[in-house]
Amino acid sequence: MGANVSTMRPARDLLHQLPLLPIQPDRSVDYEAADAALLLALAENCETFMNTIQQGLSALGVILAHASPEVGSEIGSDTIEALGWFMAETADIAAALLVLTRACRHYTADYAPAKVEPASQARF
């Protein structure tokens, strides 16, 4: 999560990774059959995306607080309503991502990726 979000596309990457998850006959995710590296990448993208959503929702809250009629704003009620629905939907997405992240982290708790040995230096 430490990377700069402006240089990453966690939502796009997440949408590309989700179809790679194996599913069970009841259409639930089969985390035990999933590739551990995929689960780790999903968890990282979910966490980064959730962080972006939460920062955006916070920013919208600040803007809406300053857009109230009491402070002289002329923003229409239809705009405020649309923002409310948007905020509700994105908060629901963040909640679903949290569930996915926790499942990915649970099923990879004991996963240790193989260490890649550095290539030996060529000598001339």
CA–CA gap between residue 19 and residue 113 (Å, rounded): 22
pLDDT band per the 50, 70, 90 thresholds, residue 41:
very high
The better pLDDT of the pair 6, 29 is held by: 29
Q: What is the pLDDT of residue 124?
A: 62
CA–CA gap between residue 75 and residue 16 (Å, rounded): 37
The model's pLDDT over 56-110, given as tens digits with 9 standing for 90+, comes to 999 998 888 877 766 667 777 888 889 999 999 999 999 999 999 999 999 999 9
* DSSP letter string, 31-46: GGGS-HHHHHHHHHHH
Cβ–Cβ under 8 Å, residues 57 and 87: yes
pTM above threshold 0.85: no
